[in-house]
Amino acid sequence: MSTHDATEKTLNNDVSGSLDNNTQNSLENTKDIDPNTFLVTFEGDDDPLCPLNWSFGMRAFTTMMFACCTFGPQFSSSVFGPTVQEISQLYKVSHEVATLGVSLFLIGVGFGPMIFAPLSEVYGRKVGCLIPFFISGLFAIGAGTASNIQTVIIMRFFQGLFGGAPVSNSGGVLGDLWRPEARGVALVFYAFVVAGGPIIAPVVGASMTVTIDRTGWRWVQYLCAIYTFFITFTIAFFVPETYHPVILQRKAKRLRMTTQNWAWHSRHDEWDLTFKDILSKHITRPFLMLMTPIVAAMCTYGAFAFGILYLGVIAVPQEFQVVRSWPKITSTLPSLGMMLGVFIGGGMNIIAGRRYARILRANNGKAVPEARLAAMKFGAFLMPMGLFIFGWTSDPKYPWIAPVIGLTIMNTGFFTIFQGCLNYMVDAFLRFAASAIAATTFARSCFAAGFPLFGTIMFNKLGVPWGASLVGFIAMAMIPIPFIFDRYGETLRKRNPYAAQVM
């Protein structure tokens, strides 16, 4: 029996098994009855209506589709990079001005989740994700058809602003679908997509600008739009809503329509939400969370690591095209070594996830966010190590494989740190997971927006060895963060106004 069939059967049983002559009366005749009598909830821990109890195939498919949705803005952010030179020549602007198409896109991605993630906690994941994602595709077309650099930059900003919605909402979907013992592995595959987008995109962008003559950069934008529309309609028609309160709200509505008893309701129906409430309680929540020590520290570390990823995207062509004089397309291929590092880091996180599952069982199923930091402790050392190896083997007298090994080690560290921050934030702020990830996305997008702007200048002025070393020293200064949270994290969570609600 499919998940939808089981859901339909459960809902019909709810209607037929719960009603009698008294519950058929109008609301006026039941106003003295305890409201909880008609409160709609999931029917036990194994209710098939609850996304946690969907079949593994349905949960995996839903996870994959929202991961593909998240891939869109990550891919679009850096696929523009290889087109900067063509745009600079076409519109006769400096390289830095043309690079704003990347940086402002990332700033938009940073602000987008702060707006749309809280709305998903009110209206559901699909509404909070797909509507802005679709609008992002329209702005991608706008950038592709632009006739001046100002239009390109403005369109790219709004493409990022609306495209940023899936980045945080998809993290909330994982909290809807997977129990804590399995969520870590699901987050690995989700993070593969998030990290893989900026790595793969430059290869695609460079190939299109070389193979498609003068309009290659425009077709890069059209490709982003086509992908966006395809994923939007696939999720809209084939993926069900996952947000528990909205599912129960819809169940209550059906019960009211079926029984003509208007007393049936869900907790979500009890909200008397006004625009002022949305603005004060939901839109501002990610910003307020960002001001708390836990979120500030984790966001800063995760954002710095994500900035390193985008610095790598800048450093690869700088090293292999400028320093080693490789052709344009070929010079982007060493970034695949960064992708290998992502896979190795993912393997480390899966091993750590199995360890966490044992800890969770020993703790009677209660989340232990600090236990999520095991792989992150190793990554804290690997990231600066990789940066130093990459920097000091960049001279052409060393074989090309040496800096690629450095990139691989660097990204292994990056991925364990990036996903460690995601895991910790979801477990620590489960109810507010989308808002917590929105705060993380805002911080990391700001870092990622700055790195492309100063990365090229830094490598030109300092050279690749000292440019990479400067960032490596900063990474070394952040090594204590996961160790501090491992020891004092529980105490900090008890003092946090958001984390304390889910402890």
- Could you read off the pLDDT of 116-146 as tens digits, one per residue? 766 777 788 888 889 999 999 999 999 999 9
Listed by start position, the domains of the chain span 53-242+284-496
Q: What is the DSSP string of 182-205?
A: HHHHHHHHHHHHHHHHHHHHHHHH
Between the alpha carbon of residue 6 and those of residues 65, 176, 330, 470, the distances in Å are: 22, 18, 52, 57
Q: Contact, 427 vs 367, CB < 8 A?
A: yes
Q: Tens of pLDDT along 249-308?
A: 888 888 888 888 887 877 776 666 666 766 666 667 777 888 888 888 888 898 888 888
Higher-confidence residue of 280 and 369: namely: 369
Instruction: Answer yes or no: is pLDDT of 27 > 50.
Output: no
DSSP assignment letter at 33: S
Identify the band that residue 23 occupies on the pLDDT scale cut at 50, 70 and 90.
very low
User: For position 271, what pLDDT does the model report?
Assistant: 67
b (16+ CB within 10 A) / e for 389-421: bbbbbbeeeeeeeebbbbbbbbbbbbbbbbbbb
Instruction: Answer yes or no: is pLDDT of 222 > 90.
Output: yes
Nearest to 233 by CA among 2, 69, 36: 69
**Mean pLDDT value of segment 163-192:** 78
First and final C-alpha spacing in the chain: 36
Instruction: Answer yes or no: is pLDDT of 18 > 70.
Output: no
Average model confidence (pLDDT) across the chain: 82
Superfamily of structural domain 53-242+284-496: MFS general substrate transporter like domains (1.20.1250.20)
Instruction: Answer yes or no: is pLDDT of 56 > 80.
Output: yes
DSSP assignment letter at 214: T
Q: Tens of pLDDT along 459-478?
A: 888 888 898 899 999 999 99
User: For position 275, what pLDDT does the model report?
Assistant: 66
Higher-confidence residue of 261 and 5: namely: 261
**For residues 192 and 349, what is the distance between their CA atoms, to the nearest angstrom?**
11
Mean pLDDT lowest among 81-95, 138-152, 161-175: 161-175
User: For position 161, what pLDDT does the model report?
Assistant: 92
**Mean pLDDT value of segment 328-342:** 84
Which 3 state secondary structure label does DSSP give 39? strand
Q: Tens of pLDDT along 183-208?
A: 777 777 777 777 788 888 888 888 88
Share of the chain above pLDDT 90, in %: 25
